[in-house]
Amino acid sequence: MSMLQRISNFISGLLSLLSGIVILLVPELGFRFAMLILGFSLLISGLRTVIFFFRMARHMVGGRSMLYYGVITMDFGVFTLTLTDMPRLYLAVYLVGVYAFSGVIDIMRSLEARSYEGSWRMNLLHGSANVALAILCLVFVRSANVLAFIYGAGLIYSAIVRFIKTFRRTAVVYIQ
């Protein structure tokens, strides 16, 4: 991880930590705030992926899939931002879906990294925590304040994982 990536990862972890604390302190507004955070983060992530496609991935094998991924992620971000006037039950189901999907993807990544004997334990732990948060959200789907509390706790956990990844030493591979 380069120094610029470490700095941006630290800043995004700090923003996640602050957002999680705000959601925990003000649970009445927390659910709407959580949807705004989720929408903007999906939108920015998709935009970054599309920019990456036009700068570099269009010259790579399979680079077109990055364009598709970026456009779909931006679409989900815009869709999430338009959901703020929907009933909270739909928003809760959407939030559960995002947590479950993210957790399953992290678990699959860790299993793939395990087969290559890479570092897989952190991804497995993070994916399992996201799946557990999705199940917990399903249990408390009727209470918006509890869902906001769960989402805030998830943001704080995600920020801690980002801090750990930021300050972890990475191996440098030298080709001889």
Collapse the DSSP code of 176 into the 3-class scheme (helix H, G, I; strand E, B; otherwise coil) and give the result.
coil
Helix axes 3-25, 144-167, angle to 10 degrees: 160
**In contact, 80 and 46? CB cutoff 8 Å:** no
Residue spans of the domains in the chain: they are: 30-84, 86-167
Give the number of other Cβ atoms within 10 Å of residue 39's Cβ.
19
pLDDT of residue 174: 61
Encoded tokens for 125: 């732990």
Mean pLDDT in runs of 10 for the chain (176 residues)?
85 88 81 79 91 88 87 89 74 79 87 77 84 84 77 85 82 63
Q: Which residue has the tokens 């599309």?
A: 50
CA distance 87 to 108: 32
Quote the CA–CA distance of 92 and 127 in Å, as a whole number.
Answer: 19
Q: How many CB atoms lie within 10 A of CB 175?
A: 3
Q: What is the pTM of this model?
A: 0.71
Q: What is the pLDDT of residue 142?
A: 76
